[in-house]
Structure 1
């Protein structure tokens, strides 16, 4: 398992983003040298965990629980075959393009050591948005990407460090539950009845997903009580 490329992007003015600034950092390219990765701060104030990487819409992106986005080269290759076009590393806005690592099968709370020092923890999946769809220029992209349920993973920084293309990736911790990135994605999008299952991941789960799961369970339990909602 290894890191093919570390990808960063600069803020770019476009006419298809919902970002208040009218800019996006989704167009990412492989970095030439090492990149420092550290926790960027809370969502809304912090941005990307990677030095030199722009996160322009901090309402929905960036922050400690979405500090790094990883996507497998194998999944890019699969989309290449389906779309009939070349997809370079970073084409989906991912910071880490991996090889030999089952990103979508990773467990929430799973920890990866990348290179000598960096330790990351899986928190959630990536939910496709308008900016992603328009940047790629594929008709019906959000629906197609969602149907595949192979969204790549967001990660938080446990131990900061420098990484570069070619670094090894080692899974150093796997939690004792079965909530994968793909399961969490389905729960957050098309199969809401899976939300209670995601609670097994506990506090490792992205706080917004954890809140949604708890709310879902509360509503469902209240509906079953006498006098509750039918």
Structure 2
């Protein structure tokens, strides 16, 4: 499918109810029209509630492939609107099995670099009413991914996406996702070492792999 931006989505955190308690979340984004400025860490009008696990330079922009929407609509039995996964950019032609860590793209005036997979959390369950949704995301690999901002600027929901560079490491987004979801007995020391050497991979992920390398019972 042709690489295309389908929707640009932003939203400030709101408070919802989850398991009888109040939960602040930024997952409820809305499709917006017109140009929106993207800074070093977020879009104007956007925000995250949990700055420990979301946001920051390596998670400035969340991207999700529109191709997955039909699957989730069938599985969950309901229609999805844009930003269903709390993504900033709903796109086509940018699947996790094809996009590599470190690939760069220009969208409008901004330049983005793929930094890591989007690891699913319980807030997806809150939004869509499926307690096992994070596990389903990991099973399918339909995670989406994050980008850092190499050049700030304006974009809109109709901006073209131009691929500027393919990273020579050729590590697919889904490879990192699978490794993050692996059990200790399944981890391979050589693979972890190779991923740690990928300097374009988000620092928090490389640090996690470094900790894993210090653990016993790794294969290899």
When normalised by structure 1's length, the TM-score is 0.84
Structure 1 consecutive aligned stretches of length 4 or more whose deviation exceeds 4 Å: 220-224
Unaligned runs of 5+ in 1: 41-48, 225-230
Partner in structure 2 of residue 228 of structure 1: none
Unaligned runs of 5+ in 2: none
CA contact (8 A) 2:96 2:172 kept: no
Say if 1:201 and 1:125 are closer, same or farther in 2 by CA, change over 3 A: farther
Partner in structure 1 of residue 152 of structure 2: 160
Q: Residue 198 of structure 2: SS of its match in structure 1?
A: helix
Pair 1:207 & 2:207 matched: no
Deviations 1:168-216 (A, max 9, x none): 1111111112311111011111355155165266211011110122222
Partner in structure 2 of residue 5 of structure 1: 7
Given candidates 90, 112, 136, the residue that maps to 1:120 is: 112
CA contact (8 A) 1:7 1:30 kept: yes
Q: Tell me the matched-pair count.
A: 213
Partner in structure 1 of residue 24 of structure 2: 23
CA RMSD in angstroms, aligned pairs only: 2.4
Say if 1:201 and 1:2 are closer, same or farther in 2 by CA, change over 3 A: farther
Given candidates 63, 78, 102, the residue that maps to 1:70 is: 63
Distance in 2 between the 1:34 and 1:162 partners?
6
CA contact (8 A) 2:196 2:210 kept: no
Partner in structure 2 of residue 97 of structure 1: 90
* Correspondences of 1:1-230 after superposition (within 5 Å): 1-16=3-18, 22-40=23-41, 49-115=42-108, 117-190=109-182, 193=187, 196=192, 199=195, 202-219=198-215
When normalised by structure 2's length, the TM-score is 0.87
Q: Tell me by how many angstroms 1:220 deviates.
A: 5.1
Of the structure 1 ranges 167-176 and 102-111, higher mean CA displacement relative to structure 2 is found in 102-111
